[in-house]
Amino acid sequence: MTTSSAASLTPFSELKARIDQRQARVAVIGLGYVGLPLALLYTEQGFPVTGFDVDAHKVSTLVQGGSYIFRIPATEIQAAKARRFSATADYSQLREMDAIIICVPTPLDAYHEPDLSYITGTAKAIAPHLRAGHLVVLESTTYPGTTEEVLIPILEQGNLHRLKASRSGATTEAGFFVAFSPEREDPGNQTVARRDIPKVVGGLDEKASQLAAALYGSIFNRVVPVSSPAAAEMTKLLENIYRCVNIALVNELKLLSLRMGLDIWEIVEAAATKPFGFQPFYPGPGLGGHCIPVDPFYLSWKAKEWDFRTRFIELAGEINISMPYHVLESVAKALNQQKKALNGAKVLVLGVAYKKDIDDLRESPSLVIIELLQKEGAQVSYNDPYFPTVGRGRKYDLQMKCAPLDNLGQYDCVLIVTDHSHYDYARIVREAQLVVDTRNATRGIQSPKIVRC
């Protein structure tokens, strides 16, 4: 490089060139269900990637070439390591990075309000290592305004060089770039390749947007730019609220259909044949996962600042939260039909993951249902091929071991909560005394032992 061309390089053009040449060093902070697959995608495209996590077990597993996520085999981690992927808990390594992508949790606290402590903790840990030309992207789902009102002030106040985030109209070049880009993963979905999911990106200014679009354009086939970080934050919430509200709608219609002697699944399937204007949503035992039961409440909390009540979100939450109670009642009623009490009944819960074929327990309705059954005196066991044990989480403390799927006749009731593909439902119905099915997993099987709820 000549002296004159080096002098003409700005932090923006330098980073853009490094991204375009796949030489930008990518840091992914938070190596969970979102961060680890993202880190691997960048590695596959030839970027040198360093993953950061505060969980020492995760870091050492990756360092040793292992995996802790069921659908990511250890061989993938080993291949990534051969292509310059590493993992660490040492934030000082951030100085050597070019782009920093934050994928830490955004749960609700005990009062159902946003818990941003992981984002603020991460921002405080990044700030001392920030340098001019860094691109920082937040991916964690959160309310509109978080990037500008929470993340950027911490980064600006905590960095050692008094750097400012690059904003439209700013006169100085020596800042850092910030964007928000929501994660859109659908765990367990085998039909859409990750790189075919369009990536929404909202930068704080045009330069940040261009850099973030270039960074994500290297691993996703389509980038969708929006006008600001807040617009990108709101886009993700709209997507999840749309699901939450529609699932609540179909759950409510299920309760009515049951009362009217109609089969809601048959009705949804029939309606889904309409080639326009209808998208099917399916009823279930309650919402699960890190996103749908949690994210809408980030917006209802923020809305209060604007004297606004998000009534659809609250109503949907009310209906969805009541579904595990409906399951409890259905089990009690089904046992009652057999002249048995729930108190003392042996119940086998099939599936603790929050949805089929995945190894994720977070916010799973199964956990609530197990606790509700136990409170009524039932002797509860569970089976789930993805979980040999269920210990303690933020909201539960079960300390249970996966029961084998044999001798099903010993249970007064087998309760299907998660419809894993692995299960042989015909055999389950044949061997069980009573099957309560919350997912229509036994569709096509005729038996007086089945109660669909």
Instruction: By CB under 6 A, tell whether 140 contacts ligand NAD.
Output: yes
Active site residue 244: no
Q: How far is the CB of 98 from ligand NAD (least distance, A)?
A: 18
By CB under 6 A, residue 118 contacts ligand NAD: yes
Taken in order 355, 356, 361, 364, is the CA torsion positive or negative? Answer: positive
User: Of 214, 220, 180, which Cα lies nearest the Cα of 199?
Assistant: 220
Separation CA 101–CA 83 (nearest Å): 19
Give the residue with the Cβ less far from ligand NAD, 65 or 433.
65
Q: Is 320 a residue that touches ligand NAD (CB under 6 A)?
A: no
Q: Which amino acid is at 425?
A: Y
Residue 116 within binding range of ligand NAD, rule CB under 6 A: no
From start to end of 205-315, where are the E strands? 223-226
Applying CB under 6 A, the site for ligand NAD has a residue count of: 28
Residue 54 binding ligand NAD, by CB under 6 A: yes
Tokens representing residue 239 in the block: 């997507």
- Closest CB to ligand NAD among residues 12, 52: 52
104 binds ligand NAD (CB under 6 A): yes
Nearest to ligand NAD of 53, 384 (CB atom): 53
What is the Cα–Cα distance from 447 to 438, expressed in whole angstroms?
Answer: 16
3-class secondary-structure state, position 414: strand
For residue 242, what are its two tokens? 């749309």
Q: Please tell me the distance from the alpha carbon of residue 70 to that of residue 358, in angstroms, as a whole number.
A: 8
Of 103, 291, 413, 453, the catalytic one is: 291
Pick from 16, 18, 25, 58 the residue near ligand NAD by CB under 6 A: 58
| 187 near ligand NAD (CB under 6 A) | yes
The answer to the question of residue 129 lying near ligand NAD (CB under 6 A) is no
Q: If binding is defined by CB under 6 A, does position 105 make contact with ligand NAD?
A: yes
**Interface with ligand NAD by CB under 6 A: which range of 3-11, 78-86, 103-111, 445-453?**
103-111
Q: Which residue has the tokens 């890190």?
A: 290
H-assigned helices in 365-418? 365-375
Residues 202 and 213: their CA atoms lie apart, in Å, by 9
Tell which one of 12, 42, 47, 52 touches ligand NAD (CB under 6 A).
Answer: 52
Residue 141 is a binding residue for ligand NAD (CB under 6 A): yes
**Which phi and psi (to 5°) does residue 206 adopt?**
-60, -40
Q: If you count them, how many residues does the chain have?
A: 453
Task: Say whether residue 181 binds ligand NAD (CB under 6 A).
Answer: no
C-alpha R_g of the chain: 25
> Interface residues with ligand NAD (CB under 6 A)?
29-35, 52-55, 58, 103-106, 118, 121-122, 125, 139-141, 183, 185, 187, 290-291
Active site amino acids: 291
